[in-house]
Amino acid sequence: MVGRIYLRSRRCALLILMLLRQRYADGFWSAAMSPLRHKSKTSSKTVCLLAETGRHRRQRSYPTNYQRKQRRKGVDKSSLSYQSRQIINSFEEACQKRPYFDDDNNITSRLDNMVQDLLGKQILLAQNEDEVETKDDTNNNSPQLITSRITPRDASSLIRLLGRHGALTSMLVFLRRFCHDIHEINTASSDSSTSRSEEAEEAILYAYTAAIAACSKPLPSSLLSSKDPNQIGNSQYRSKAFLLQLLEEMENGFGTRILPNSYTLSAVLIGIDDGLDALNLLETFVERYGKDAITVQVYNVVLASFSGEKYNSNGWHHAISLLQRMKRHGPQPNEQSFSYVLQSCAGSGQLKVALSLLDEVRQSSSMEMTSKLYLPLLKVCAKAGHSDVLWSLINTMKDDCIQITTMQLNLYLQSLAKAGLHIKALGVLRGMIKQSDPMQLPDLISFNTVLSACANSNDYEAAQALFDQMKGEVFDNIRPDVVSFNTLISCAPPQVGLDLIYEMRLTRRNREGVVVPTGVTFVNSIKQCREYVKEELDPDIRNDIFEIALSVLGLARNEKINLNMFVYSAAIWIAESVGDSSVALQLLQELNRDTQESSSDDNRLRSAYGACYDGVISALSKDGLYREALALYHYEMQPLKLPSTRNTYKSIVHALDNANDEEVKNSQSKKAALLEGVLSRMTTSAKSVEVGGPLFEALIKLHGEEGSFKAAKMAFDSIIGPCDEPCLSAILRVCSLTTPTHWKEAVLLTHSSDVVWGARGPGMIPTRALSYAVIACAKSDQWKEALNLIDLYGIDLNYRRAAANLESRQRGLVSSMAINSVIRACSRDLRPDVAVQILNDMQTKYNISPNETTYRLAIIACNHAEHRERRQRRNTSDASNPLEFQWWECSLSLLRRMREDEIRPSVQAYSSAVSSLEAAGQWQRAIGVLQSMREDGEIPNLYCLNAAIAACEKGGAWVEALELYESIRSQRKSTIRTNFITVNSLLIALEKAGQVELAESIYQEAMRDKIISPWVRRYDNDGTLRRMMDLHKFSAPMAKIAVRGYLESLLTRKKKVIRGDTIFIVGKGKGSEGKPVLLPTILELLREEIGVDARVDKNNVGRIRVSGASVHEFIESKRWKE
């Protein structure tokens, strides 16, 4: 081994040099220099290793005088120090992990056994392990004390070693035994000098300090995930109560009081995660041991507790407060103190506070600025992507004469990558390459960070160019590693990613630079295939990409790597993207067969396992296989206790909506029953809207479509925790759809629901949910309660502070549909004043622009109000005052505003306006509105024309009414035809004008067109079915024309016997305003004008009877034609 070594490769040189260094450190230098004499190029790593070995050799070449004396004197193997060192060496060898055989749990068990042997048996370690002599304690009447075999210093080292490897129970047993022996020796010794007592107390102090420190530190993750009962019990030692118990045991458990030092108190505080508890305990230490006993190191531990992740939101307040206290009352904070405070402020998002504190430290002359003070701010800025702030901090470091190194520049590159500024990151990297300062030259982390920035920005060309530069050996000692390959694959096209995996496999042929694919490699490649599948529409290309993904999965199997959950999850989800549920199901079955991680307690693995099931259920839902999807959920996911996600329940709902069974797909009740079964098996955590929101929303909607508000409310009440916008909107929609509406429940739900984060407004109620609640109230004519809801939750408090430009303002907090429903409710309640006021306030108060429906509903409200007032005036015989406000004027004003707002009025809006003019008798304006309609390209409907004719009738304009009537009849190709109302209004106008003959001719035309058919068959008093004239729907003029026309028609008939009475049905007058109209009118006509004997039927006051004899007499007296 000492001779010259001829090596043919640098890789072998490195390996042999490391072996030589490990075994033959003394004579290594001469053997290590041999490769340098070979002609082959030696790498810089080899040179660095040789230089390090040379330094080690030179250090060992000059022993101290004490070492020379000990060598000449020889080693006394019977001495306590030698035996103590041998014990420590044996424990250190036991802690060395044997590859493929040991894990952390095995090492801990081995240490427990060794401590048991050490304490239970007297072990005398000789020079060789074969010379160990043991004696059982039970056979020895005077057992040897542990202090006779290990020194106090080595005992503290052993305590730290046991705690570091998780053997806390054995550590505590050894601690108490060792300290008890020291106390016994000190008590039994005749030499009770002060120095000997101080040495004993010092040994106990150091031992307990080491034990407290071991219990304070968190256990390794491998031990925390262990199912070993001993390791599970170790977690109880890292608690505030147990640490204080150890402190009390040390202080008062050995006769005299042993005061802790700053290291002991710091160790206790390290084990307390809660910053406020640590602060309170610090106050207790100050009161108990005095302010002088608490050093800056103890305060720094408390400051560090506030800089952790738990106090990222408000821990900076306590950290700054404690720092100010240290400045005022001592001890004075050091560099580490300010570093923890800066980390706490920056980590909680208070970057401005941290920068202000840093400026304060810079201006202080008592504190020397180092990179340690800047490092917390640099890391936080890099993580948050504040590249500008980070660069200014680097310039400030230059001003403070602090050396800028590659680490700080790498953090700057990380911030650029986080902010998506990959072009700028490339420029910074080029600047680092040109640097002459070796402390700022880029390393592999620099290149990988910029490569990640390009990948995150989906700039594959830039990432590929940088990757080619790394491969081209342009930069010394920088070659692509597995991180570089994985990063490039995450943004490369599918085929390029597959080629890169093949390239990674081919690196095994090289003697150096071997890059082995990992599970992340295949996951990134398959995920990138899925991204391309989502963007591609051509089914053939999608299938080709899917084949590439399956090829990547096949390479993963050939590599014989552990196909974990993440690889299978990526493969299953790309199968879901292409809609191949059979492949997804096959992959899941393969996963269940090959993996053993389904029973793991690792939440990350269980989440990935659940994601695999989510992908398969989603694929099945696309094919409508709802039975298979539900079977996976009920019979596999639930027994395995896999965590369900939002995608799980979203896919189940989609499977039912897309079911291949039409009976289930079209049946709301069956889908609701299946979802109720899923709800019954959901865990408590899954019943939150973050997880089970899609299922709750679908179930509430299904019950609402069935009209079952009670079932929908029960589903809503099943939600645990705050609800979200879809679920709240769904239940409020059910309140508005059911008949009658549950407006009280809607108001209660709106007031009592938890706020929905992300919603605007004073109550944080979403727009859609608030709109449904308002609609529910409006449908029940509770417009006051609806306006109250809008005022509470629908007014943007910051609206009045917004800019004058309406386009720059956000939309309102309530929908226009909800506002329109309130206006409609006001119209039904005959409150046009409120309806018009809401219309006027929509833009200024609710930040909503009125639409055509809004104006139309307001015009309808004015129309109803005008008709109501006219009826009231007719009943009270009050004349209208022309100076008073008229609602027909408001309707015309709203029509004018619609044109000004460039809103085209609908036919219904015009009809309502004309109807209001009809009620007021404004026939000129009514005809003007009709003319405006034709100019706007709108064709008046029959309702509008009838209203105009009625307006002419009330205004006495019978000629205009007749023209409108003739215009309707002349439109033969139009679908508009005159109806009963048209003829009735015209006949009233003609009768008022005295145009009796014209009215009778129009009546006869209506009879021929079958618009009017007064004859009906009804039962008489004696039960016989007779022919009667029904007039109770006629107006008085039309009824008079009908009666007169009938009797005059009898005069033209041939002689015929009139059998029985003639009966006219006139009604009882319930539909008339005030007193009955038809009954006295027809009686007067028959008796006075015609002269027949007419009387009211005693059995039915709604009928007028004329005897047959009286009719016959009338005919004989009036007959003019034989």
The pLDDT value recorded for residue 507 is 85
The pLDDT value recorded for residue 544 is 92
Model confidence at 646, pLDDT cuts 50, 70, 90, reads very high
Taking residues 1024-1046, what's their average pLDDT?
88
The pLDDT value recorded for residue 98 is 55
pLDDT, the chain, mean: 81
Model confidence at 193, pLDDT cuts 50, 70, 90, reads low
Range with the poorest average pLDDT among 15-29, 261-275, 280-294? 15-29
Cα dist from 1076 to 342, 346, 651, 899, 1066, whole Å:
92, 87, 67, 44, 9
Distance CA 247, CA 268 (A): 8
How does pLDDT run across 760-816, given as a tens digit for each residue?
556 678 888 999 999 999 999 999 999 999 888 887 655 444 434 444 345 567 889
The pLDDT value recorded for residue 498 is 93
**Secondary structure of 541-579 in HEC code, one letter for each residue:** HHHHHHHHHHHHHHHHHHCCCCCCHHHHHHHHHHHHHCC
The pLDDT value recorded for residue 370 is 86
Whether 842 contacts 850, CB under 8 Å:
yes
The pLDDT value recorded for residue 407 is 92
How does pLDDT run across 340-363, given as a tens digit for each residue?
888 888 878 788 888 888 888 888
Rounded to the nearest 10 degrees, the angle between the axes of helix 767-779 and helix 743-752 is 150
Q: Which ranges constitute the DSSP H helices of 936-1016?
A: 942-955, 958-970, 980-992, 996-1008
Q: Is 322 helix (H, G, I), strand (E, B) or coil?
A: helix
Model confidence at 1107, pLDDT cuts 50, 70, 90, reads confident
How does pLDDT run across 551-581, given as a tens digit for each residue?
999 888 887 666 778 888 999 999 999 989 9
Model confidence at 719, pLDDT cuts 50, 70, 90, reads very high
Q: What angle do CA 200, 203, 204 make, to 5 degrees?
A: 90
What does DSSP say about strands 1015-1019 and 1062-1065: parallel, antiparallel, or unpaired?
unpaired
The pLDDT value recorded for residue 272 is 85
Best CA proximity match to 1022, nearest among 1113, 1094, 1112, 1105: 1105
Position 47 pLDDT exceeds 50: no
Whether 471 contacts 436, CB under 8 Å:
no
Model confidence at 606, pLDDT cuts 50, 70, 90, reads confident
The pLDDT value recorded for residue 492 is 93
Determine the residue type at 32. Answer: A
Pick left, alpha or beta for residue 624 (phi over 0 → left; psi -120 to 50 → alpha; otherwise beta).
Answer: left
Higher pLDDT, 28 or 379: 379
Q: Is 1030 helix (H, G, I), strand (E, B) or coil?
A: strand
Best CA proximity match to 674, nearest among 630, 637, 621: 630
Taking residues 439-461, what's their average pLDDT?
92
Cα dist from 88 to 85, 158, 235, 400, whole Å:
5, 7, 26, 47
Higher pLDDT, 421 or 130: 421
Taking residues 979-996, what's their average pLDDT?
89
114, two tokens: 């060794």
Taking residues 584-590, what's their average pLDDT?
90
The pLDDT value recorded for residue 136 is 40
Other Cβ atoms closer than 10 A to 1085: 20
Q: Is the dihedral of CA 152, 156, 162, 168 positive or negative?
A: positive
The pLDDT value recorded for residue 60 is 42
Cα dist from 1028 to 430, 988, 1039, 1042, whole Å:
106, 23, 13, 12
Termini Cα distance of the chain = 156
925, two tokens: 């304006």
DSSP letter (8 states) at residue 527: H
Higher pLDDT, 698 or 971: 698
